[in-house]
Each structure stands twice: as structure tokens, then as C-alpha cells.
Amino acid sequence: FIQVSSRTHHTHTHPFPIIMNLSRFALTALATTLTSASAFTPAASSRAFIRSPAVVSSFSKFSSTTTTSLKANVLKLTEPEKDILDGVDVFIFDCDGVIWRGDSVIPGIPSVLDKLRALGKKMFFVTNNSTKSRAGYKKKFDSLGLNVPAEEIFSSSFAAAAYLEQTKFKDTGKKAYVIGEIGILEELDLIGVPYLGGPEDAGKVPPMGPGDKLDYDKDVGAVIVGFDRNINYHKIQYAQLCINENEGCEFIATNTDAVTHLTDAQEWAGNGSMVGA
């Protein structure tokens, strides 16, 4: 799931971002919770909902398939409780559009989660929405009346920070420039990576008169682009200057979703439009 790209000085070909959407770093961290216990993770479990022999064997019991508008075959369980609940120990849920839409919990979700916990199942919640940190998502679960421990939550803001930590970005002495919201900044704070941009650049307008130019920090070694409700031309220009002019600068996208669910009334343009810009 990772496309790795960095810039060499004055090479102005189209940059491809490192896409953190369900990155190997987040999945590695998640896999760790399934194979070992630590201060951050719950006790290990023997089977996960993905790549599980129990689930593979269940697939043979599907009686029919349905086809979505995107022409993808969707497997349909004949006996969900028998095929899934009896054979799976760990369930992994997406959040936006699965657990909630906007600030509203999806009907039926509380009872489903309560039943799984009553059966002793372990659960993890993953989201490629970077606007919140893991701590921020914990607060959102709480506000919806869902009792979800922080160690069960994995976000793309965390994945971006995990990537920088595992590649020892802090040791380079470089900074990160952030197009995005508080979630990315909170995760960077936890690993001690200095940054600029983010909400502080909301409302800024670059000088665009004759002979004007936008000054940028030559010590930026990574540009992180996450969903940003205050995206503007200053941020886009600053980011592209760092990517194209700073040697070795990495371009990291938390996700490339075409749409997102800001409210439960309609779909909204997603982070893909910002990464593309």
C-alpha cells in the first residue's frame, strides 16, 4: 500500500506521494497487537478477521453473491452467526460510513459492538481520516456513547507519524510541513518531530504581485497532506516548493479518498482533491 517517493534537487517531474492509507506501518502496529502484549496493546489473540483460516473456511459457505454499482462481487453469508461469530476472535472495523456518518452513530452499531464484547471478541477500529489523533477519536467514540479503549484505535494521522518514527526522520534534524488538521500535529508531538503549517496557515495568502515569491523553510524534509477544511493556495504553494526544491523531501499523503463524510446529509470532497492539488 506504500508508494515511496522523495525529491532530488530541481527535478520537477510529477511527485507521487507516500500513501499512508492502511499503510504497512499501521498494519504492522496492528499485527503486533495480535501477536504480542505490550503497555499500549491489549492481550494477544490467535485469530484475526483478516487472513484468518476460520474466515477462509467460512467463504466456502457463501450461498450467493451480490453485485454493487461498482460491479464488485460482494460475498453474502448464509448463516452469519455460525460462519463468523463462532470462528473469529478479532474484528476490524472502518469508522467513517461504518461506525458513524458525520457526528451520528449508524443505527444498530451500539448493539453489534455490545454483543461482540459480550462474546469476548476483540475489536479494532481503523480510519484513514487524519483530522483527529488517536486521542481525538477516543473522544469521538465517547461522545457517541461507544465504549472503545484508545488502544483499539488506529488512524492515518498515527500511520503518518509511525512512518516517520520508523524511518528515523527525527534523527535527520528536518521539519515536517503539514497540510491538515490537529490530528496530525498531535501525533507528531508524541514522537517529537518538529513541524510547521497546519491550522496556523489558515487564511494566509501568498504574495502574488510582479516579482513576488513565497519564502519557504529549506529544512523541511517531509510534506504531510491530510484532510484540511482550511486548505488554501498559500498551503499548496508552500508544500510544492518544499517537495520540488528541498532535496530529498518526502511527500506523504494520509489518504487519497475522493469523498468523505463530513455530515450525514451529503458526501464532501475528500483528501484526494488536496493531494492532487
Catalytic residues: 89
Q: How far is CA 147 from CA 96, 110, 158, 263, in A?
A: 17, 9, 20, 22
The phi and psi torsions of 111 (rounded to 5 degrees) equal -70, -35
3-state secondary structure 239-253: HHHHHHHCCCCEEEE
Residue appearing with cell numbers 476460520 = 54
Partnered with residue 92 across adjacent β-strands are 124
Nearest residue to 115 (alpha-carbon basis) of 140, 80, 74 = 80
What angle is formed at CA 142 by the lines to CA 85 and CA 27, rounded to 5 degrees? Answer: 55
CA distance 21 to 259: 14
Amino acid at 30: L
Q: How far is the C-alpha of 83 from the C-alpha of 147, rounded, in Å? A: 26
Are the C-beta atoms of 7 and 23 separated by less than 8 Å? no
Of the candidates 260, 254, 256, the residue with the CA atom closest to the CA atom of residue 97: 260
Q: What is the C-alpha to C-alpha distance for residues 42 and 44, in angstroms, rounded to an integer?
A: 6
The residues, ordered by sequence, that sit 6+ positions from 231 with a Cβ below 8 Å of its Cβ are 179, 274, 277
